[in-house]
Amino acid sequence: MNNSARSEIFARLRHACQSAEAENIQRALPPTDSAPGAPLPSDDLATAFLTNVLKNQGTVECVANRSAAVKALADYVYRHFRSHRLVAGNDANLAAMPWREAGVLPRFGAIEPGEPVALSYALLGIAETGATALQTGKANPAVNNFLSEHHLVLVDSSRLVATMEQAWARIRQEMNKSGRPRGYNFIAGPSSTGDIEGQLVYGAHGPRNWHVILMGDIAATALEDARALAGK
Amino acid sequence: MKQTSDTFLENASAALADSGKSQRRDLLALFSPLMRDAAMGSFGQFEELRDHVRQVRQHSLDHLDHYLAQFEQQAAENGNRVHFASDGDAMNSIVLDICQEHRAQRIAKGKSMVTEETGLNDYLQRAGLSVMETDLGEYIIQQAGETPSHIVGPALHKSAAEVRELFLSRHDLGERDLGEIADLVGEARLVLREHFLKAEVGIIGSNALVAENGYSMLVTNEGNGDLCANLPKVLIICTTLDRILPRLEDATAMLRLLVRSATGQPQTCYTSFYSGPRRELDTDGPLETHIVLLDNRRSEILASDYREMLQCIRCGACLNHCPIYAGVGGHAYGWVYPGPMGSILTPLLTSLEQSTDLPNACTSCGRCGEVCPAGIPLPDLLRDLRHEESERKLSPTRWRWGLKMHAWLARQPRLYHALTAVGIFGMHLLGRRRGRFASLPMAAGWTSQRDFPAPQGKTFMQQYSALQRQQQAAADAGKRGGRSTRRPDPRRPGTRRQDATRKAPAGTGKRAHPGGPRGKKPRRRTGDE
Amino acid sequence: MSNPSKEQTSQRDPLRVSLFVTCLADLFRPSVAFASIRLLEQAGCVVEVPGQQTCCGQPAYNTGDYATSVPLARQLIAQFESADYVVAPSGSCAGMICHHYPTLLEGEWRERARRLAAKTFELTTFLNDIARLKRGDRPAVKLPAVTYHDSCAGLRELGIKQQPRALLRELCDTEVKELRQTEVCCGFGGTFCAKMPEISGKMVGDKLANALATEASILAGGDLGCLLNIAGRASRSGAAIEVRHIAELLCGDLDSPAIGEPERQ
Ligand code: SF4
């Protein structure tokens, strides 16, 4: 029955569509670069990214290197939970962090009920949308993105891109190398809803807090500028 | 879903009578356009992007057979099972079969207008399954036993107080306050978390299907759809064929407009792309994934003059900007899709006979077409549907003949001017004392809501031709008397004082025409005079 | 046809305008047409009123009866296509000609419709953008506070927004007191207001409330359909606001009764 539905649908579509060679169809497709993107709030990529993360109601920190990153993570968790417990996927980048220096060691794996904090290592940070792109898999189980109360995302500044088009270009390279992952999650804010009277409330089903740590060689004023631009 | 579009006027009347709901709709109609405008304003290149998105959408539809085949192949390569459903029942039974195959009892569902269209929840529940909507808005209306009033915010017709009452009665959680909207959101989170963790099957919709690699885009703010897509062992994506786009970039270019048009945000919190079941080394994700592609007349629409309607990206902007939607709310439309897009889709997906009022629930104000991010000429399509009603004699005979008579008369200018002169002057005499009519037998619809202003006096054409005759006579007399006619100087118009001293044109007979040019004669001038 | 700009025109060579009176002005409010003629003349135009004109076919067209509107469209094209400019004191009628005729008609008629559309203007657009009527061209006019209703067809099909405001500023020294949700329909919609009176009533009620909230004493507009609707609602609810066509106001004609007002003794 399913098969007959399929052939009926295709027959109807063929009747309604212009038949053309795949090559010609390809050629008739408008180029992706004719789609304008949103203007960036700053010419400096890091500043632009941080500004939009802040506008998306994320919280941000900038750190110069991996030692500072683990320290910042440890401080964040301690500040909120008076503990040093957090969960992270089996990401080689995270495993290689100098955890001992800050006296924390994440549990590597998927989040379990009762564990409030998850850490992810971002595939990319996208300035245009203020989003962190994450890839599902062993290195970052998707549940870590959605079931935690506090979702911490570490973004290496070398992984910042300006637009979604640039993001896809980078992702395509990865995909060509290591195949298609099950999913990509672009996360741009703590979970929210406007479903009751149109009033925006945070902490719907996913994390209530989304904290981005930008790591690397970043202009000293980037964070300050971003706060000013975002009005925070 | 039971359709009540045929009683649109009664539904509307009832909705207008509910002043509390009416006020809430007014507020939404005031604020949502402001949010959308602000978002588009800071984006800056709405027209350019809309052009691009429209072109891509049109291209995808022009070659839908090609892209659908490509998507099917890619999705299958990714490990999905792809199903085709010609109509709603077919989709429902495919989904039920999958659930039964897995002996699933509990279903967690993300927001999906397509499954509202097919009535999937009822269908599964009748088969004994427990289906839980997880989008907050959908959850609220499911608990209340209602249908969505808006395609983006399904429960926007309910006040916080109503939701509070609902939660207090539906959730057995003892004494609690729930005074703030945040409390309500928190409670829904708590209650639904359970369901997410226990569900055996997740069902979600899709905002775009990417032909080049078989990914399916899911856009939410709450993250509920992602929980449905990641926690249960089986995932079913219920969507329609027209969601296909060629490339990943096309999906995210469209998203720029979708989010800003829908909620005025620059970006939703969660934008996900899912390709299929968990990969070999993955520690989480569904073990089995299905994609059910529904046609339900979309291939017919594709072959029709209404093809552009398939470009719709379901942003809801046309609802938010429609004054009629604002007035009567989504339920009055009597089916799944309300507002301008619904007034087009409902006749096309059900029947024009069942929904004759919907295409007429439109003043052709054009606001929907102005904001539609998919560049759909909504007012034109609505008028085309009215055209079909008129062709198929579905519109009231009285209206059809009335307009034909008027047009016939308007094609006989002499007769038209003679008859209107008599009729209008008669009306003027009847109405001049009050300046208006409180009721008119031929215009009961009009006068039920407002007075009908009386005409000023003689028709313009009557007055104007009288003036011309006068002028001609004066010119003839002038020639006979050897005087030349006064040549008007276009650069130096007469002042009001001068005007007032000149003789008034023929008016009502008693006094200068009230609204006339106050004595100034309209002149017919020719260059070679 | 080349559109001569005003700079090039001299007294010997004024702009020649054919006025499309529109059926509502013809029947209900001739003063609008007289005022239009006067304004055009003040701007230095030579005005002609083709005597056989009736209706542009909008009512049938909007209800979807295309076949019935086609002969009316052709009739109007034949009557007006020899003009240099066609001007109508209505955004919706000018919109019908400029925007809808070329899609309604086919073949040779479509071409003729396009040519006509290119030289057809709504009154305020023509006065402000083409004929450039300035304060020096005519006696000054003083107006009480005015609010303005943007009619939908004019606004969205022809982009009429700043022209009437600019003219009020230039000719009458008047700044429009903007009404909230000014770009939302008043609920007229041609046959809509009679087919769906309750919804239309709600819409015009909202429009009137927003107009009253500006505390202007006059509501002006460029389309008689909307104005008859709003005026009828105002008089029904006893609201103290005069409803007038922009052409009358620009002429300073405040003595004649406003729309829906009784004759003054
Ligand atoms: S018709 Fe246009 S505005 Fe309306 S929902 Fe669809 S895309 Fe949005």
Question: For C220-239, how does the pLDDT look when each residue is reduced to its tens digit (9 = 90+)?
Answer: 999 999 999 999 999 999 99
Quick: pLDDT tens for C164-199: 999 999 999 999 999 999 999 999 999 999 999 999
Give how far Cα A10 sits from Cα of B63, B78, B213, B484, Å. 11, 21, 20, 80
Q: Is A56 on the interface with B (CB under 8 A)?
A: yes
Instruction: Say which amino acid occupies A172.
Output: R
Side-chain-facing half-sphere of C107: CA atoms under 13 Å? 3
SS3 B359: helix
**Cα–Cα distance between C171 and C128 in angstroms, integer?**
10
Give the three-state DSSP class for B377: coil
Does residue B506 line the site of ligand 1, with CB under 6 A? no
Is any atom of ligand 1 closer than 6 Å to the C-beta of B345? no
- Worst-scoring range by mean pLDDT, B369-373, B501-505, C93-97, C246-250? B501-505
For residues C232-255, b (16+ Cβ closer than 10 Å) or e, as one string?
A: bbbbbeebebbbbbbbbbbbbbee
**pLDDT value of residue B339:** 98
Q: Which pLDDT value is given to residue C264?
A: 75
In which region does residue C132 sit, left (phi positive, over 0), alpha (psi from -120 to 50) or beta (all else)?
Answer: left
What integer pLDDT is reported at residue B1 of this predicted model? 73
- How far is residue C208 from each of residues B12, C233, C245, measured CA to CA in Å? 21, 7, 16
Asked if pLDDT for residue B495 goes beyond 70, the answer is no
> Which residues lie across from C146 on neighbouring strands?
C218
- Quote the CA–CA distance of B294 and C58 in Å, as a whole number: 39
**pLDDT tens per residue across span B390-444:** 999 998 898 889 999 999 999 999 999 999 999 999 999 999 889 999 998 888 8
Which residue is associated with the tokens 């006619």?
Answer: B485
Domain boundaries, chain C: 6-130, 146-250
Contact A133, A126 (CB under 8 A): yes
Lowest mean pLDDT among A175-184, B464-473, B497-506: B497-506
- Most B CBs within 10 A among C76, C256, C263, hence the mutation to make, goes to C263
Using a CB-CB cut-off of 8 Å, the residues of chain A touching B83 are 2
Which of B67-76, B243-252, B464-473 shows the lowest mean pLDDT across its residues?
Answer: B464-473
A129 touches chain B (CB under 8 A): yes
Buried b (16+ CB within 10 A) or exposed e, C125-164: bbbbebbebeeebbbebebeebbbbbbbbbbbbbebeebb
Range of the domain at B431: 412-477
The larger pLDDT score, comparing residue B529 to residue B129, is at B129
pLDDT recorded at residue A2? 59
Whole-angstrom Cα distance, residue B300 to residue C264?
61
What is the mean predicted confidence (pLDDT) over B251-255? 97
Residue C115: Cβ-neighbour burial (10 angstroms; 0-12, 13-18, 19+)? middle
Flag whether pLDDT at B528 surpasses 90: no
The verdict on A41 touching B (C-beta cutoff 8 Å) is no
State residue A172 phi and psi, 5-degree precision.
-60, -40
pLDDT computed for residue B481 by the predictor: 63
Render the burial of B205-244: b for 16+ CB within 10 Å, e for the rest. bbbbbbbbbbbbbbbbbbbbbbbbbbbbbbbbbbbbbbbb
The helix/strand/coil state of C242 is: strand
- Return phi, psi of residue C219, to 5°: -105, 125
Q: What is the mean pLDDT of residues B129-155?
A: 96
Looking at every residue in chain A, the average pLDDT score rounds to: 95
Per the CB < 8 A criterion, the answer to whether A16 and B302 are in contact is yes
Give B497's pLDDT tier (boundaries 50, 70, 90).
very low
Rounded Cα distance, B283 and A109, in Å: 8
Two tokens, residue B222: 């709450």
**Residue of chain A whose Cα is closest to the Cα of B138:** A195
Q: What residues of A are in contact with residue B153 (Cβ under 8 Å)?
A: 194-195, 198
More confident residue, A205 or C1: A205
Counted across chains A and B, CB pairs separated by less than 8 A come out at: 263
B423 belongs to a structural domain:
yes
Stretch B273-287: mean pLDDT = 95
Q: Are B238 and B204 in contact (CB under 8 A)?
A: yes
Secondary structure (H, E, C), B80-134 = CEEEEECCHHHHHHHHHHHHHHCCCCEEEECCCHHHHHHCHHHHHHHCCCEEEEC
For B443, the token pair is 């215009």
Could you tell me if the CB of B98 is within 6 A of ligand 1? no
State residue C1's pLDDT score: 40
What does the pLDDT look like over C84-93, one tens digit per residue?
A: 999 999 999 9
Tokens describing residue A146: 């959605």
The domain ranges of chain A are 1-30, 37-230
Q: Which tokens in the block code for residue B98?
A: 């999958």
pLDDT of residue A79: 96
C139 CA: distance to closest CA in chain B (Å): 6
- The confidence score (pLDDT) of residue B476 equals 87
User: Residue C181 and residue B460: Cβ atoms within 8 Å?
Assistant: no
Nearest chain B CA: its distance from A157 CA (Å): 21
pLDDT band at A232 (very low <50, low <70, confident <90, very high): confident
Q: Examine the pLDDT at B486 and tell me if it is beyond 70.
A: no
Q: What is the pLDDT of residue C265?
A: 64
Say if residues B123 and B92 touch (Cβ distance below 8 Å).
Answer: yes
Which of A13, A23, A56, A161 would you mutate first to test chain B, the one with the most B CBs within 10 A? A13
> Cα–chain-centroid distance for residue C45?
18
Distance, CA of B329 to CA of B24 (rounded, Å): 10
| Of C137 and B339, more confident | B339
Ligand 1 centre to CA of C243 (Å) is: 35
Helix (H, G, I), strand (E, B) or coil at C24: helix
The dihedrals phi and psi of B360, each to the nearest 5 degrees, come to -90, -10
pLDDT in tens, A114-157: 899 999 999 999 999 999 999 999 999 999 999 999 999 999 99
pLDDT given for residue B405 in this prediction? 94
Q: Could you identify the residue written with the tokens 């009866």? A: C65
pLDDT at B245 over 60: yes
Could you tell me where the beta strands, DSSP code E, fall in C12-116? 15-19, 45-48, 85-88
Beta strand B216-220 with B270-274 is antiparallel
Report the predicted TM-score, pTM, of the whole model to 2 decimal places.
Answer: 0.92
Retrieve residue C93's tokens.
């009628």
**ipTM exceeding cut-off 0.90 for this assembly:** yes
Q: What is the pLDDT of residue B492?
A: 34
Based on DSSP, count helices (H) and strands (E) in chain B, helices before strands.
Answer: 23, 12
**Residue with tokens 């005499």, as numbered in its chain:** B429
Strands B81-85 and A209-215: unpaired
Q: How many domains does chain B have?
A: 1
Contact A187/A131 with Cβ under 8 angstroms? yes
Q: Are B94 and A2 in contact (CB under 8 A)?
A: yes
Reported as half-sphere exposure (CB side, CA atoms, 13 A), residue A140 has a value of 25
Q: Specify the pLDDT at position B412.
A: 96
| Torsion, CA B331, CA B333, CA B334, CA B338, rounded to 10 | -80
Residue A103: CB atoms within 10 Å: 11
| Type of residue numbered A72 | A
In CATH terms, the fold of domain C6-130 is: Rossmann fold (3.40.50)
> Beta A107-108 vs A124-126: how paired, if at all?
unpaired
Distance, in Å, from the CA atom of B318 to the CA atom of C139, rounded to the nearest integer, reads 45
How far is the C-alpha of C65 from the C-alpha of C72, rounded, in Å?
12
User: For the segment B410-425, what is each residue's pLDDT rounded down to a tens digit?
Assistant: 999 999 999 999 999 9
Residue B327: pLDDT above 90?
yes
Question: How far does the centroid of ligand 1 lie from the alpha carbon of residue B379, in Å?
Answer: 12
Measuring CA to CA, which residue among A129, A136, A125 is closest to residue A212?
A: A125
Amino acid at B454: A
Residue type, A33: D
pLDDT, residue B490, reads: 36
Q: Which two tokens stand for residue B292?
A: 């059910």
Q: Assess whether chains C and B touch, using the rule of 3 or more C-beta pairs within 8 angstroms.
A: yes
Edge-to-edge strand order for the sheet containing B270-274? A160-161, A124-126, A131-135, A183-187, B270-274, B216-220, B208-210, B244-245
Query: Which of B248, B239, B242 is closest to B214 using CA atoms?
Result: B248
Q: Nearest Cβ partner of B182 from A29, A180, A201?
A: A201
Q: State how far the Cα of B256 lies from the Cα of B258, in Å rounded to an integer.
A: 6
Q: What is the pLDDT of residues B312-326, one digit of tens each?
A: 999 999 999 999 999
Q: Which fold has domain A37-230?
A: Rossmann fold (3.40.50)
Is the dihedral angle over the CA atoms B418, B419, B424, B430 positive or is it negative?
positive
